[in-house]
Amino acid sequence: MNPIPFKNLKFFKRSEPQAIKQKNSTSPSKTEIKLTYWQKLIQSPIVILFIFVAIIAAFISYVPSRSLPLPSEGEIARSDIIAPADLTVEDEGTTENRRKEAVDVILPVYAQDVNVFSDTEENIREFFNSGREWLKESVTVTRRDEFQKEIQEKYDFEIPSKDLRLLIKNKFSAVAEESLISLLGKIYARGIILSKNLFIYGEEERGFNFLTGPNTEKTLTIEEIIDTKEGKEILAEEISQLGLHRNETSLLTDIANFFLSANITYNKTETEARKEQARQSIET
């Protein structure tokens, strides 16, 4: 008996392959689908209703049902009239007065120049050092005259002959040099203005703003600072209390007066900037 091979057995019936669609069959083009979509959208009753409502709303909002009569001058309007746009009317006179009041409140600004004392100290030390160097050679009338001329050209003051003789006698004393710098330092620390007669911006009545540094400011009255005239009087009083000989007192006073100068000045730029800021802060 011959064996039957399993590979020749067929347990299921093979389904017939479906007919292959013809390659020439075409689907609707994208253009046709797009046109059909917009046509449907335009023909939609919801879209038509939305457009109709928008037109009616715009018509009601911007087109009055009837023209409103304008009331004549002095007549009381029978109903509220709403302006189509905001209108700002500036009262120029009132605004200008308010700005002027704001500017008038601003105090004048004065600033202290801290470099003035540093320069003064440097000049004093140069003066005494040059004198000590000059004394290293024999003193003659010609050399003395030349030295006085040199000092006058360099420091813009003339040494009286009596003071120069005393300086030569004391050999341009370092003690006198240090005493002079110390006394002037105290005066400069208080603040010195050239003259109180220069206060012309109402400082006597209101005071002024005093700037001693970039972020340091305080309000002072004119009594709290001194001018050069008062500074010289204070120096003379301080020097008289040192217990020096009369000639030495006179010498130190003269030299101190020569080197004394103002270290407070009116700051016009800062004052005007603050006034302009005050003006701009007032709205129309």
pLDDT in tens, 232-249: 999 999 999 988 889 999
Examine residue 2 and state whether it is found in any structural domain, yes or no.
no
Q: What does the pLDDT look like over 44-95, one tens digit per residue?
A: 777 777 787 788 877 776 665 555 566 777 777 777 777 667 767 767 888 8
8 A C-beta contact, residue 171 and residue 132 = yes
- pLDDT-derived band of residue 1, with 50, 70 and 90 as boundaries? very low
Mean pLDDT of 251-277: 94
Q: What is the dihedral of CA 109, 213, 181, 150, to 10 degrees?
A: -70
pLDDT at 23 over 70: no
* List of E strands, 51-149: 109-112
Upper half-sphere CA count for residue 254 (Cβ side, 13 Å): 16
**Domain total in the chain:** 1
What was the pLDDT predicted at 257? Answer: 94
List, for residues 92-122, the tens digit of each pLDDT value: 888 888 899 999 999 999 999 989 999 999 9
DSSP sequence for 201-217: SSHHHH-EEEEEETTEE
Residue 258 is assigned to a structural domain of this protein: yes
* pLDDT at 21 exceeding the cut of 50: no
Range of the domain at 276: 105-280
pLDDT given for residue 76 in this prediction: 79
pLDDT band at 25 (very low <50, low <70, confident <90, very high): very low
Residue 34 lies inside a defined structural domain of this protein: no
Q: Please check whether residue 275 lies inside any domain of the structure.
A: yes
In the predicted model, is pLDDT for residue 177 greater than 90? yes
Would 256 be classed as within a structural domain?
yes
**Which phi-psi region, left, alpha or beta, contains residue 149 (left: φ > 0; alpha: ψ -120 to 50)?**
alpha
Torsion sign over Cα 25, 31, 35, 38: positive
The pLDDT value recorded for residue 94 is 85
Position 41 pLDDT exceeds 50: yes
Contact 277, 142 (CB under 8 A): no
C-beta of residue 192 within 8 angstroms of C-beta of residue 111: no
Task: Establish if 93 belongs to a structural domain.
Answer: no
Would 164 be classed as within a structural domain?
yes
pLDDT tens readout for residues 122-142: 999 999 999 999 999 999 999
**pLDDT at position 228, please?**
95
Is 14 a domain residue?
no
Does the pTM surpass 0.75? The reply is no
